[in-house]
Amino acid sequence: MITALRGSMAALALSGGLALGVLPAQAEPHTYRIDPEHFSIGFLISHIGYQKQLGMFLEGEGEFVYDEQAQALSSGRVEIAADSLFTNHEKRDEHVLSDDFLDAEAYPDIVFEVTDFSAESDTQGTLTGDLTLLGETHPVTLDVTLNKAAEYPFGHKQYTLGLSARTTLSRSEWGMTYGVDNGMVGDEVELIFEFEAIRQ
C-alpha cells in the first residue's frame, strides 16, 4: 500500500512538473579545447633491440565535442606538427624528419579524426579514429583514461578534463618501412598522450 502510494505521488509530481514545463535535466554536449601548455605527445620505438628510444612532438592542438552525462563523444580532431619532433639528438631528429621516416617537409601535419568512442566505465573508454600520416589514412584505436574532471584550481579556473591515452601502431602500415627488415628500427610505435582539455 505504501509503495503504491509513493508511486502515485511520484507520477503526480512528474505530471505536474511536465505541465509547468519543468523537464528532467538533459545531457548536454560541450566543446573542449586541448590546452597547448598541458599537451604531452610522446612515442617509444625499439632501437636495434637495445632500448626503446623515447621521443616527443612539441607542438599539437585539438578539440572535441563531448557529452559528459551520456559519455558520448560526437566529434574530435587533433593536429600535430611533424617538424616539432624532438628526441634529444640533433642528427637523429634530422634523420627522422627526412623522407626515410616522417618526410615532414612534404607532410607537415599528422592528423587524427575521431570516428567512435565507447565508454567502458566512468573513467575508462576506447577511442577509435583515422590517423593520417605520410598522406595515408588508417584506423587507430586508443585506450583512454579520464584522470579528473573539475573546475581548475587556478589560472583559467574553467571546467577541465584531465586525460591519458595510449595506443600501439605499426608504422609500416603507413608506408614507413625504413629499418624494419634489418631490425635496426622497430615497426611498432607506442604512442603516449597526456593532456588537459578546457570546456569552452
Q: What's the whole-number mean pLDDT along residues 123-139?
A: 98
Closest to 32 (Cα-Cα) out of 123, 128, 130, 163: 163
Residue 38 lies in a domain: yes
Q: What does the pLDDT read at residue 127?
A: 98
Residue 84 DSSP label: G
Measured in residues, the chain has a length of 200
Closest to 93 (Cα-Cα) out of 81, 85, 82: 85
Cβ atoms of residues 162 and 149 within 8 Å: yes
Strand partners, 122: none
Residue 106 lies in a domain: yes
Q: What does the pLDDT read at residue 184?
A: 98
Q: How many domains does the chain have?
A: 1
* Residue ranges making up the domain that contains 43: 26-199
Residue 1 lies in a domain: no
Q: What's the whole-number mean pLDDT along residues 74-81?
A: 97
Banded pLDDT at 156 (limits 50, 70, 90): very high
**What's the pLDDT tens digit per position in 17-49?**
433 344 444 569 999 999 999 999 999 999 999
Q: What's the whole-number mean pLDDT along residues 159-175?
A: 98
Write out the three cell numbers for 131.
590517423
Mean pLDDT of the residues in the chain: 90
The CATH number for 60's domain is 2.40.128.110
Residue 2 lies in a domain: no
Radius of gyration, CA atoms only, the chain:
23
Q: What does the pLDDT read at residue 17?
A: 40
Residue 36 lies in a domain: yes
Residues 120, 143: Cα–Cα separation, whole Å: 10
Give yes or no for residue 73 having a pLDDT over 90.
yes
Banded pLDDT at 7 (limits 50, 70, 90): very low
Residues 29, 71: Cα–Cα separation, whole Å: 9
pTM of this structure: 0.86
Write out the three cell numbers for 180.
624494419
Residue 43 lies in a domain: yes
33-to-1, 76, 128, 158, 164 alpha-carbon distances in Å: 53, 10, 19, 11, 15
Residue 3 lies in a domain: no
Cβ atoms of residues 80 and 40 within 8 Å: no
Write out the three cell numbers for 155.
589560472
Residue 18 lies in a domain: no
Q: What's the whole-number mean pLDDT along residues 149-176?
A: 98
The burial class, CB within 10 Å (0-12 / 13-18 / 19+), for 1 is: exposed
